[in-house]
């Protein structure tokens, strides 16, 4: 990035965001609030868990940027 200041600016910064626990957090939420086992399985199989985890990551990153920048 520093080799291309015309693209990234003279002093670019990189934010690292740890997303390892996002899927586990969403799975725990679904397990706690969804009573039917079949519905939980469908949520996982359909990709809903991954979509919610991605949303959680983006919301967390946006909230951080809003608060500190």
- For the stretch 11-27, pLDDT in tens is 887 888 888 899 999 99
How far apart are the C-alpha atoms of 25 and 51, rounded to whole Å?
13
Is residue 1, in this structure, part of any structural domain at all? Answer: no
Is residue 9, in this structure, part of any structural domain at all? Answer: no
Cut 0.95: pTM above it: no
Structure tokens at 15: 């934010």
Is residue 13, in this structure, part of any structural domain at all? Answer: no
Count of the separate structural domains present in the chain:
1
How far apart are the C-alpha atoms of 29 and 67, rounded to whole Å?
26
- For the stretch 31-69, pLDDT in tens is 888 888 788 888 889 999 999 999 999 999 899 889 988
Structure tokens at 25: 């957090």
Residue 40's domain spans which residues? Answer: 20-68
């Amino acid at each position: 990035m520093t080799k291309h200041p015309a693209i990234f600016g003279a002093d670019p910064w990189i934010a690292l965001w740890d997303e390892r626990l996002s899927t586990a957090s969403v799975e725990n939420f679904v397990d706690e609030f969804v009573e039917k086992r079949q519905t939980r399985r469908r949520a996982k199989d359909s990709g809903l868990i991954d979509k919610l985890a991605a949303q959680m990551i983006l919301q967390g990153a946006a909230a951080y940027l809003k608060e500190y920048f």
